[in-house]
Amino acid sequence: MDVVQFIRHFQPKGTNVTQPPMDSQFAYQPNYQQPTPPRRPTSVTVISIIGIVLGILGLLCVGANVVLTVIGKSFAPGGGPAPKLPPEAQTAAVVLGVVGMILWALLLVGSIGALLLKRWGRSLMIGVSIADLIYGVAKLAVSFIVIAPATVEMMNQQPQTGQTAQVQSMIKPIMYGTLAVYWLISLVFPIATLIVMRRKNVVDAFQSDSPTTPM
């Protein structure tokens, strides 16, 4: 028995008691649940963390290499100055290094955005992956045509003994083989990124920029 019925039970006949209006804040409302934030797919978490690590390491390594190429000084084992690469090879190495640093920086930013399920993060990672594939082909071509031959020629200018000549004869195939293997390895991450970021569940997870819930 509610309050109104209780009053009506004891009120004199003919007296009309109406139920007072209910405050809107106490009015009945259906159960309302806050929309759950999108769950971050595990593949996005993994690829983003790898991208962050690679971005940091790439910036450090490539940056140090560019600095050493521009201002560094090397010396031969005898104490004299070591032979330097020709100007065109040095320029090519610096340009490739600067472009590489830009790509590593963009990868780092995009990976952080993707980890937060930001749509721009996914778009940036896709763009960087495509650019990295193109950059890898260009870098391999420049290395084979310009940098590697100049490096081999520079090493051949070193004073040779019997053992040194044998080692130097192996430098060229080792260098070219290393460049080819490195290029093949460098294809793995951008291709994996493109595959992951184009999956339907990943695309759906990036439809909202709301806070994320890890899966």
Tell me what the mean pLDDT of segment 115-140 comes to.
96
The closest alpha carbon to 192, from 15, 3, 52, 48, belongs to 48
pLDDT band at 104 (very low <50, low <70, confident <90, very high): very high
105 within a domain of the structure (yes/no) = yes
Count of structural domains within the chain: 1
In a domain, 82, yes or no: yes
- Residue 103 is assigned to a structural domain of this protein: yes
pLDDT at 160 over 90: no
Residue 170 lies inside a defined structural domain of this protein: yes
Looking at per-residue pLDDT, the higher value among 108 and 148 belongs to: 108
3-state secondary structure (DSSP) of residue 40: strand
Residue 92 lies in a domain: yes
- Asked whether the predicted pLDDT for residue 67 surpasses 90, the reply is no
- Measured between alpha carbons, how far is 147 from 158 in angstroms, rounded to an integer? 17
**If pLDDT is split at 50, 70 and 90, which confidence band does 211 have?**
very low
16 in a structural domain: no
By residue range, what is the domain housing residue 134? 42-214
- Is residue 47 domain-resident? yes
Q: Binning pLDDT at 50, 70 and 90, where does residue 162 land?
A: low
Q: Which of 89-93, 125-129, 169-173, 207-211 has the highest mean pLDDT?
A: 125-129
- The pLDDT score that the predictor gives to residue 142 is 94
State the number of CA atoms in the 13 A half-sphere of 93 facing the CB. 21
Please give the mean pLDDT across all residues of the chain.
79
- Is the pLDDT score of 81 beyond 60? no
Look at residue 102 and tell me whether its pLDDT is greater than 50.
yes
Evaluate whether residue 10 is within a structural domain.
no
Query: Half-sphere exposure (CA, 13 Å, Cβ side) for 171?
Result: 17
- Amino acid 192 reads A
Evaluate whether 109 touches 171 at the Cβ level (below 8 Å). Answer: no
29: left (phi over 0), alpha (psi -120 to 50) or beta: beta
